[in-house]
Amino acid sequence: MRTYTVHVDLNVAGVSADDIAAHGGLVMEALADLDEANPELQDWTVSMDAAQGRCEIDLTVTAAHHADAVALAHSLVRTAIHAAGGATPEGAATGGAAQAPRYDDAENAMKVFA
């Protein structure tokens, strides 16, 4: 097993800047829960620029191969966003909110460092 850092850059839209900022806190809570349940997730950070509609998530994960690290990071980020009530291209928002933040990959969305 190797340790990889995966940087995920996302655009966030569909709600106000204040709602984006608040949702960032919910995504962090969801990642904290995932961290407890997934020994492969070693560390993580979330940075939000609500005014620009940007979210950056860095995950340090252990995986056998680069591709496994990317798949794990993608799954964890998507799961955290959905658990927080957000939407991604892979799935609609949960929680029944009339409007939910929509997260989409930004340009050069994912970078992996071994």
pLDDT digits (tens, 9 = 90+) for 53-111: 999 999 999 999 999 999 999 999 999 999 999 988 766 656 555 567 888 877 767 77
Between residues 90 and 28, which one has the greater pLDDT?
28
At 89 the pLDDT is 77
Mean pLDDT of 11-35: 94
Q: Which DSSP string do the residues of 47-97 spell out, in sequence order?
A: EEEGGGTEEEEEEEEEESSHHHHHHHHHHHHHHHHHHTT-BBTTB---S--
At 111 the pLDDT is 78
